[in-house]
Amino acid sequence: MKTLICLLVFTLTSYAQTNTENTTKLNHTVTGEKVYLVSEVDIKPKLMYGENALYRFLSRNFKFPKSDTFVTEIVCSFIVEVDGTFSDIKVINKIPDEYKIELLRVMNKFDEPWYPAVKDQNQVRCQYVLPIKINLM
């Protein structure tokens, strides 16, 4: 099992935060206060214990589904709430349903706190796009 974990390397990149295809609001089904884009806030949301905590969590908990299609990138979006939690996780690229289900399962288990986004010195809800590159070595 340890060998398999060592072979699976997740490389998460933040390029999608500035990529033009991911700078539009998605149809999130949450209600309440306005949801901002990362490009609209003064301070972007970030993980309290650093992005490495998320990378390690994904690499340890994501189980590759048995599928004929191998996926090299999963792009998901979620809302970082003002209380440091995240909600309304969506997979936004086209991948097999097995991968979507597994990613949603793993992301729903992740409970590390976030620093929320800040706009005009107020904490705000913010859409966060997370691209996940999958490399098998």
* Segment 38-96, tens digit of pLDDT: 999 999 999 998 888 888 999 999 998 887 788 889 999 999 999 999 999 999 999 99
pLDDT at 17 over 50: no
How far is residue 62's CA from residue 93's CA, in Å, rounded to a whole number? 18
How far is residue 101's CA from residue 32's CA, in Å, rounded to a whole number? 26
Task: Give the tens place of pLDDT for each residue, 96-134.
Answer: 999 999 999 999 999 999 999 999 999 999 999 999 988
